[in-house]
A and B are shown apart, each in its own frame.
Chain A
Amino acid sequence: MDTPGPRSEQAAGRLQAIDLDETDHGIIDLLRADGRLPYRSIARELGLTEATVRARVRRLEESRTMRVVAVTDIEAAGFGMLLAIGVQVENRSPEEVARELAAVPEVFSVNVVVGAQDIEILMVAEDQVALHRLLHERIATMPGVRRLTPALAVNVLKNQPDWVPFDRDGAA
């Protein structure tokens, strides 16, 4: 399943991976629930010193194992629409098209796939006008893009991916 390109960056990232123990997992769980939890509270919760917690968090961050960030609700950010779009590619490598798609800020997830489609993307747009412009002027005209097969999300019940790679394009 390994392919050249961004995969190998991921493989390189993996080399720096650190072994996590119970304490690390305890800290990650608490920060997942509340990213602003003070070091003091984490220390109390886990029966550690504050200095230990600080050092552990720093180690998790420096090894790119964990980051504590603000995730913005797409609607609050002004995006009224979320779409999943299948992209068929011709005369160009899907990897190249995928990288070009990844450079579009509204395209927040890009995955090269096998099957009826070559690439699956998740994308947001402010409204119908913005969506039309993005699809037809930006994405459909991209070299290599043959057909777009969109689906519009009308109700998102869950969007809490914990597989997020944060050392990649657009996410760093």
Chain B
Amino acid sequence: MTRRTLDAVDRQIVARLSEDARVSNRQIAADLGVTEGTVRARVKRMEEERQIRITAVTNIDRFRHGALAYIWIEVERSHQVEAVAQALASINELGFVGEMLGRSDLLVITMVRSNEHLAEFVHQRISGIPGVRRTESTLGVNFVKHDYRMARIVS
């Protein structure tokens, strides 16, 4: 599925909304020198076509001293990748689920409290999924950057 890419006006509107999406259409229109109707129609279209998603991002520490864990998953047989990916996507705690080429078959990312928590999470929630052959986890010690403006909008 290939999505239409954003044009210059779309990008200007998105740049404004990336800073603060509670700003009014009228204000954006005034800043960009276009009509309010143009802004409203474009925001609506970009949302409907899933080019952008306007949402609250929070800085709540779900776990004090939480760390990001990268879990690489290998499947028994290659045809099982899709089914394992679907099962993983339904796990709420996972913020990223991707089918990969190269280092492993799948990558999932989650936030954990500790090494023990990571081991427990992998053991209880991932290893038992039919088709999972082995996992390899990496624990983050310093989360330097995550740009919320970049995402793959899938739902």
**Chain A residues in the interface with B (C-beta under 8 A):** 1-3, 5-7, 10, 13-14, 17, 20, 28, 31-36, 57, 64-79, 82, 84, 86, 95, 98-99, 101-102, 107-117, 120, 122, 124, 149-171
Contacts and interface: CB of A to CB of B under 8 A. Distances in A.
Interface string B53-66: 11111111110011
Given A150-B102, A158-B94, A169-B145, 16 more contacts: A28-B58, A32-B56, A69-B148, A71-B18, A71-B153, A72-B52, A72-B149, A72-B150, A73-B151, A76-B153, A86-B103, A102-B144, A113-B139, A162-B62, A162-B95, A164-B58
Contact of B154 (A70, A156, A170, A171): A156
B14 A28 contact: no
A149 B98 CA distance: 16
B18 A72 contact: yes
B79 interface: no
B138 to A, nearest CB: 4
Given A98-B142, A158-B89, A68 B151 contact: no
Q: Is the interface of A mostly helix, strand, loop or mixed?
A: mixed
Given A1-B141, A74-B152, A158-B96, A69 B103 contact: no
B142 A36 contact: no
Contact of B148 (A17, A71, A124): A71
A111 B143 contact: yes
Contact of A72 (B56, B89, B138, B151): B151
Interface string B65-77: 1111010000000
Interface in B86-109: 86, 88-89, 94-104, 107, 109
A67 B85 contact: no
23 contacts: A1-B114, A20-B60, A35-B55, A36-B22, A65-B58, A72-B150, A73-B3, A73-B51, A76-B4, A108-B146, A109-B147, A112-B144, A113-B70, A115-B137, A116-B138, A120-B70, A150-B103, A151-B102, A154-B101, A156-B154, A158-B88, A163-B68, A169-B144
A58 B6 CA distance: 30
